[in-house]
């Protein structure tokens, strides 16, 4: 008779998030139990809802929602929501598989593209449009916009600067932590800071935002909703992406951040009316001239001045 191996037994399937919640219910605090019951009552709604919505439905505070998530072993609401989404989304789950070392170009192309599309669709469902409206209103009334981001978020900040300056708004992007720290120390009260960070836990950017708020500037955070950075912002746009630590997988949060900033830029363009649209036309014409694609109304006058 052969000795049984540990691997010979049945393979246990991963437990679902909903099963974990049911098992944890008796040991949860009363306020956390309210969150659990709210999730169990309508699990499909949670992946699409920002933390504020779930807190309101459960009749608790946002920190209570975070404590509930951590009681289940998740780092915060972002991780919990994404885990629940994988359980309930069905079709989406197959589109976020990691890239393997032996993947063909065709396979990794499909995986990267599908993962990107899925991430953006999840972000669209979870964004709070009321908060986007509030952010656009702040930006529209700003005397100056400062964008803070580090590493990959610094590149996103630079891209946003490229979009926003064409609207005729004074805007600058800082990616060096020492520089945005100094900028925050002297930022005027009628300016608006946009802080970009996937984790929202970078000490330098959190401190810079705290300085900017101390000086009276409003701060829009594009970051995780339950992060230290979010706690210091005037308006938080929860940019939550299911990041994979796999070395072969690009950062999905970058795509979400870029898309949110595109939404803000579009909202500003609409809010600016005809004057802003005219600025966009003029910048477009300048590109046409630079490419040598034809004359514009400005060219004959410029030639006349030079003659």
* pLDDT digits 0-9 by tens, 145-203: 999 999 889 999 999 999 999 898 899 999 999 999 999 999 999 999 999 998 898 89
60/114: higher pLDDT = 60
Tell whether 281 and 164 lie within a shared domain. Answer: yes
Q: Is residue 169 part of a domain?
A: yes
Q: Residue 282: pLDDT above 50?
A: yes
| 3-state SS, residue 235 | strand
Tens digit of each residue's pLDDT (9 = 90 or more) over 103-143: 889 988 888 888 888 888 888 888 899 999 999 999 999 99
Structural domain boundaries, residue 163: 127-287
pLDDT recorded at residue 125 = 83
29 three-class SS: coil
183 and 265 together in one domain: yes
Please report the pLDDT score of residue 281 as a whole number: 85
Which CA distances in Å does 204 have to 180, 188, 212, 233? 9, 20, 12, 15
Residue 96 located in a structural domain: no
Is there a single domain that holds both residue 252 and residue 133?
Answer: yes
Q: Please give the pLDDT value at position 285.
A: 83
Nearest to 238 by CA among 65, 96, 111, 115: 65
- Pick the closest to residue 115 from 247, 261, 257, 249 (CA basis): 249
| Residues 67 and 138 both lie in one domain | no
Which 8-state DSSP code applies to residue 60?
Answer: S
**How many domains does the chain fold into?**
2
**Helix (H/G/I), strand (E/B), else coil: 264:** helix
| Overall average pLDDT of the 283-290 stretch | 80
Core vs surface per residue 229-252: b (16+ CB within 10 A) or e: bbbbbbbbbbbbbbbbeeeebebb
Q: Is residue 43 part of a domain?
A: yes
Tell me the C-alpha distance between 269 and 284, whole Å.
Answer: 14
Q: Is residue 156 located within the same domain as residue 51?
A: no
More confidently predicted of 209 and 302: 209
User: What length does the chain have?
Assistant: 307
Note the pLDDT tens digit of each residue in 225-241.
Answer: 888 999 999 999 986 66
CATH of the domain at 50: 1.10.10.10
DSSP character string of 97-151: PPPPTT--HHHHHHHHHHHHHHHHHHHHHH--HHHHHHHHHHHHT-S-EEEEE-T
Q: Is the pLDDT at 8 greater than 60, yes or no? A: no
Whether 114 maps to a domain, the answer reads no
pLDDT score for 242? 63
């Amino acid at each position: 008779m052969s000795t049984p191996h540990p691997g010979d037994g049945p393979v246990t399937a991963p437990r679902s998030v909903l099963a974990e919640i049911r098992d944890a219910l008796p040991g949860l605090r009363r306020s956390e139990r309210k969150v659990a019951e709210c999730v169990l009552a309508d699990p499909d709604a949670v992946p699409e809802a920002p933390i504020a919505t779930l807190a309101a439905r459960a009749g608790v505070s946002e920190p209570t929602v975070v404590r509930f998530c951590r009681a289940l072993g998740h780092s915060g609401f972002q991780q919990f929501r994404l885990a629940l989404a994988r359980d309930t989304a069905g079709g989406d789950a197959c589109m976020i598989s990691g890239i393997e070392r032996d993947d063909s170009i065709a396979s990794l192309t499909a995986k990267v593209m599908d993962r990107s599309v899925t991430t953006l669709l999840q972000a669209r469902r979870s964004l709070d449009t009321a908060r986007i409206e509030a952010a656009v209103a702040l930006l529209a009334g700003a005397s100056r916009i400062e964008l803070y981001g580090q590493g990959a978020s610094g590149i996103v900040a630079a891209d946003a600067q490229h979009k926003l300056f064409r609207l005729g708004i004074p805007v600058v992007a800082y990616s060096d932590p020492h520089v945005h720290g100094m900028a925050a120390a002297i930022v005027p009260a009628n300016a608006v800071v946009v802080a970009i960070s996937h984790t929202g836990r970078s000490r330098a950017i959190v401190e810079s935002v705290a300085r900017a708020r101390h000086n009276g500037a409003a701060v829009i955070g594009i970051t995780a909703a339950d992060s230290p950075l979010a706690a210091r912002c005037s308006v938080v746009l929860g940019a939550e992406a299911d990041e994979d630590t796999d070395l072969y997988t690009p950062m999905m949060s970058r795509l979400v951040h870029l898309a949110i900033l595109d939404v803000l830029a579009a909202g500003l363009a609409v809010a600016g009316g005809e004057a802003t649209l005219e600025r966009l036309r003029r910048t477009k014409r300048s590109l046409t001239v630079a490419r040598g694609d034809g004359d514009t109304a400005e060219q004959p006058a410029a030639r006349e001045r030079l003659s």
